[in-house]
Structures are given as structure tokens and as C-alpha cells.
Amino acid sequence: MMKQPTQENLKNFKSQFDSGLEKNYYYATEALGPHFRSQLLNDVLNEYFCLQYDETTNTGKFKELQVSIRFWSRKEQQIVTNHLETLFLGSATGDILMKYLMEAITNAELPLSNVSIRWTKRKQESL
């Protein structure tokens, strides 16, 4: 016959699975993050894609650029949008945003020829 677990045994059992904040951060950034990024980049490698971005000021009062990628996933057979990279900015002029968007593409080793770009008419005329 199995014994009824005591409160002390339950605490000991639970403590074996508790992780501190630092350990959870490590799992997310160093263990799981690279795995999911690799899967994402393998999926998008030969596809046309577009970048979406949001420039904001975070809780630490620093400007950051959140870059997402949107593409047709042959694996999932649908359009998917995933976080690609977070970049930290000093300021956010148009030229600076473009520089950091190019950095995100370069860091991901994605071909520029696959970027789907829509320019405004004024921007097209200036090129």
C-alpha cells in the first residue's frame, strides 16, 4: 500500500523542480532561444519575407527596436510572424532604423534578394 505524501515530502519534491530567476533566464536565452531561432531561420531561408518593426522605449528608459519577420512557412503551410531580434538604440532617426534593420537581416544571414520591400512613392523617387 502506498503511503499518503506528507507536507514535508511535497515541499522536498517541489524544491527539486523550482528554479530561480537566473536559471529560468538561462534556459530561455541560452538553451531554448538558439534552438527556436535556428528552426525559424531554416524555415525562412528560401522564402520571401518582410520585416515588421516597433521602436519603443522600454521600462529602463532605453530605446529598443523589436524586429519581427513575416513569411510563408512551407513547414506550417501558412503565413507566420515571429520575433527575429531586439536591438537597442541610442536614438531613432530613419537612417538609424534602416541601419539596425539591415543589421537584423545580416545577423540572421538572410538574403537581401528575398526581402519584400514596399516604398512610398516619395522614397522610390529618391532612389
> pLDDT tens digit string along 55-84?
888 888 888 999 999 999 999 999 999 999
For residue 81, give the C-alpha cell.
510572424
Q: Where are the domains of the chain?
A: 21-115
5-57 pLDDT tens trace = 666 765 665 565 566 677 776 777 677 878 888 999 999 988 999 999 988 88
Degrees, nearest 5: CA angle 46-48-51 = 120
Highest mean pLDDT out of 1-5, 11-15, 113-117: 113-117
CA 14 → CA 7, 9, 23, 26, 27, distances in Å?
11, 9, 16, 20, 19
75-108 pLDDT tens trace = 999 999 999 999 998 887 888 888 999 999 999 9
| pLDDT score of 119 | 53
For residue 94, give the C-alpha cell.
530613419
For residue 17, give the C-alpha cell.
523542480
For residue 64, give the C-alpha cell.
529598443
| pLDDT score of 90 | 82
CA 63 → CA 16, 89, 105, distances in Å?
39, 5, 20
| pLDDT score of 10 | 58
Degrees, nearest 5: CA angle 20-22-24 = 70
Q: What pTM value is reported for the model?
A: 0.67
What is the helix (H) or strand (E) element at residue 53, kind and residue range?
strand 49-57
